[in-house]
């Protein structure tokens, strides 16, 4: 895990040092603390705003060195735009962008005076701001042998302390408690995705998941012997080329009251490295395939977040952990395997492995837990990036209500989804001449035929959604709240889905 900047909440009048962050709305209309500092510095802030053309627009800021007689070293005036109409995502992004302004030129501590030009900010919004700032503060430094200097005066400057000053610090601190759980879950997922595949294979990943026991999650690790007994042959076929044995991990969080009741099942693709197998991928960019377990990482991060915030829900996470390697033991194109459900699969391309892993995990999850809904996440196809780029994950569902809930959760959290179609005509694309289905669907609509394949393993009547996160969970584009290669995509989204629709 990375060092998190120590976060605290304090009153507007509590003492501060280091960097001060104050706000202005569009105009610029300076907030109270900004006006106060402006007065104390003889109009330095308004002068700097004027000279630089700062109008208080969202995403803009001015940075001044504090003059003699002021307790701060720097003062940053940050534009909010029009906070009256801010959503949860806007507060998150504001926190992220403020943390971004501090990054690189950080002092050891920063004091943020969070208020609008008119009003105090609601505790829930302060918590969102703080979550955004902390999410942005993550970076994966595990393999940097030079450790950062903690004094903030030289070398790699690191922000040790972030104090958010607000009208009601106690209420803000309370509102942030679940957000701390979400932050920890997202960062756990990011850590897993960023870890190289020599360090994190199926067994090592399973061991990380096992650690959730400490948070009150029941964790079972199924080894290859168990998977054979369970006839999870599609999953095993993918892993058989690797010297590192496959695993499936089952995680149960029982937080609903009463304890019984059908769970929500979350299923993740955990290919710890995807070479393509015998249908070998080209060398260029293959290193990125260390992130092909991002779906599984999200499931682990989510389960951790649910447990840490004691979510009133029964949730089960199932992840399929395999390494897809070419070798004398690897599966071949043309092989036929019988999945756990009994469906036979003709393997036309060993690089279309994720769907085979998920086929058995999806069936297992439904068979054992009779869930009231199933959501799976997978870095399943390159084609989803052709369709949607990197701003939306692909959403496929057999249930309009579940799809709408997910889309709404995506808008709230900024982890956006775009729905793509399913249908009988697309299902025809995976008909096989020799088996029930084949694992590729031809040239066009590759993300859709992959989703049709998964749907063959969903029981009639089970609400199900598949999220193709190939473009959003790994090699992520920069955003206000994320600068990490592994973004942790899906943890906040599914936490929100559960909070809004499955908790009681």
Which of Zn ion, Mn ion, ligand BES, none binds 440 (CB below 5-8 Å, type-dependent)? Answer: ligand BES
The number of beta carbons lying within 10 Å of the beta carbon of residue 144 is 10
Least distance to ligand BES, CB of residue 352, Å: 4
Residue of closest CB approach to Mn ion = 351
Cα–Cα distance between 62 and 67 in angstroms, integer?
Answer: 15
> Are the beta carbons of 457 and 398 closer than 8 angstroms?
no
Please report, as ranges, the residues that interact with ligand BES according to CB under 6 A: 274, 292, 349, 351-354, 379, 381-383, 440, 446, 470
Least distance to ligand BES, CB of residue 241, Å: 14
Q: Under the phi-then-psi rule, with left for phi > 0, alpha for psi from -120 to 50, and beta for the rest, what region is 454?
A: alpha
Instruction: Kindly write out the interface string for residues 45-64 of this chain, putting x where it contacts Mn ion by CB under 5 A and - elsewhere.
Output: --------------------
C-beta of 366 vs 439, nearer to Mn ion: 439
Least distance to Zn ion, CB of residue 111, Å: 45
Cα–Cα distance between 498 and 502 in angstroms, integer?
Answer: 5
Least distance to Mn ion, CB of residue 320, Å: 13
Instruction: Kindly write out the interface string for residues 329-358 of this chain, putting x where it contacts Mn ion by CB under 5 A and - elsewhere.
Output: ----------------------x-x-----
Which residues within the stretch 238-277 sit at the binding site for Mn ion (CB under 5 A)? 274
Q: Under the phi-then-psi rule, with left for phi > 0, alpha for psi from -120 to 50, and beta for the rest, what region is 145?
A: alpha
C-beta of 5 vs 379, nearer to ligand BES: 379
**Residues that contact Mn ion, how many (by CB under 5 A):** 3
Q: Which residue in the set 195, 274, 415, 480 belongs to the binding site for Zn ion (CB under 5 A)? A: 274
Sheet hosting strand 373-378, strand order edge to edge:
218-222, 247-254, 314-324, 264-274, 373-378, 464-468, 393-397, 417-419
Which residues within the stretch 343-382 sit at the binding site for Zn ion (CB under 5 A)? 354
> Are the beta carbons of 347 and 333 closer than 8 angstroms?
yes
C-beta of 381 vs 479, nearer to ligand BES: 381
Buried b (16+ CB within 10 A) or exposed e, 425-449: ebbebbebeebbbbbbbeeebbbbb
Active site residues: 281, 355
Neighbouring residues of 329: CB distance < 8 A, sequence distance ≥ 6:
240, 241
Which residues within the stretch 282-341 sit at the binding site for Zn ion (CB under 5 A)? 292
Least distance to Zn ion, CB of residue 383, Å: 12
Q: What is the CA radius of gyration of the chain?
A: 24
C-beta of 235 vs 498, nearer to Mn ion: 235
C-beta of 112 vs 358, nearer to ligand BES: 358
Neighbouring residues of 438: CB distance < 8 A, sequence distance ≥ 6:
345, 346, 347, 348, 430, 431, 432
Q: Catalog residues that contact Mn ion under the rule CB under 5 A.
A: 274, 351, 353
Q: Catalog residues that contact Zn ion under the rule CB under 5 A.
A: 271, 274, 292, 354
């Amino acid at each position: 895990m990375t060092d998190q900047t120590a976060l605290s909440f304090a009153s507007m009048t509590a003492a501060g040092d280091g960097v001060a962050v104050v706000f202005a709305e569009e105009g610029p209309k300076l907030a109270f603390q900004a006006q106060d500092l402006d007065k104390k510095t003889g109009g330095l802030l308004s002068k700097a705003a004027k000279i630089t053309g700062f109008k208080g627009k969202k995403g803009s800021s001015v940075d001044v060195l504090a003059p003699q007689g002021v307790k701060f070293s720097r003062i940053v005036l940050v534009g909010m735009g029009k906070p009256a109409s801010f959503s949860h995502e806007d507060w998150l992004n504001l926190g992220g962008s403020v943390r971004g302004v501090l990054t690189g030129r950080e002092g050891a501590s920063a004091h943020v005076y969070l208020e609008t030009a008119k009003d105090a900010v609601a505790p829930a919004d302060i918590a969102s701001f703080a979550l955004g700032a902390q999410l942005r503060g993550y970076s994966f430094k595990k393999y940097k042998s030079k450790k950062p200097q903690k004094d903030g005066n030289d070398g790699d400057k690191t922000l040790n302390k972030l104090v958010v000053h607000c009208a009601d610090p106690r209420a803000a601190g309370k509102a942030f408690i679940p957000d701390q759980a979400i932050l920890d879950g997202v960062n756990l997922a990011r850590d897993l995705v960023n870890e190289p595949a020599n360090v994190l294979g199926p067994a090592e990943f399973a061991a990380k998941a096992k650690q959730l026991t400490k948070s009150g999650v029941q964790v079972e690790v199924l080894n290859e012997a168990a998977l054979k007994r369970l006839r999870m042959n599609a999953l095993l076929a993918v892993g058989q080329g690797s010297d590192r044995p496959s695993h499936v991990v089952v995680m149960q969080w029982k937080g609903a009251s009463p304890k019984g009741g059908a769970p929500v099942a979350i299923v993740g693709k955990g290919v710890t490295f995807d070479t393509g197998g015998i249908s070998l991928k080209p060398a260029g960019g293959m290193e990125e395939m260390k992130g092909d377990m991002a779906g599984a990482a999200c499931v682990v991060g989510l389960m951790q977040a649910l447990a840490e915030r004691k979510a009133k829900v029964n949730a089960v996470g199932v992840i399929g952990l395999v390494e897809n390697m070419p070798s004398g033991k690897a599966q071949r194109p043309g092989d036929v395997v019988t999945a756990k459900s009994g469906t036979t699969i003709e393997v036309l391309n060993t690089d279309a492995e994720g769907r085979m892993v998920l086929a058995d995990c999806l069936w297992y999850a439904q068979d054992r837990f009779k869930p009231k809904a199933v959501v799976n996440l997978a870095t399943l196809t390159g084609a989803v990036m052709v369709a949607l780029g990197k701003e939306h994950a692909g959403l496929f569902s057999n249930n309009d209500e579940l799809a709408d809930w997910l889309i709404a959760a995506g808008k709230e959290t900024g982890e956006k989804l775009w729905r793509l179609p399913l249908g009988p005509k697309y299902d025809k694309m995976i008909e096989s001449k020799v088996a029930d289905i084949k694992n590729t669907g031809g040239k066009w609509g590759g993300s859709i035929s992959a989703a049709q394949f998964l749907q063959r393993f969903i029981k009639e009547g089970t609400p199900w959604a598949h999220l193709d996160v190939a473009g959003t969970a790994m090699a992520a584009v920069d955003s206000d709240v994320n600068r990490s290669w592994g973004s942790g995509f899906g943890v906040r989204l599914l936490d929100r889905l559960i909070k809004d629709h499955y908790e009681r």
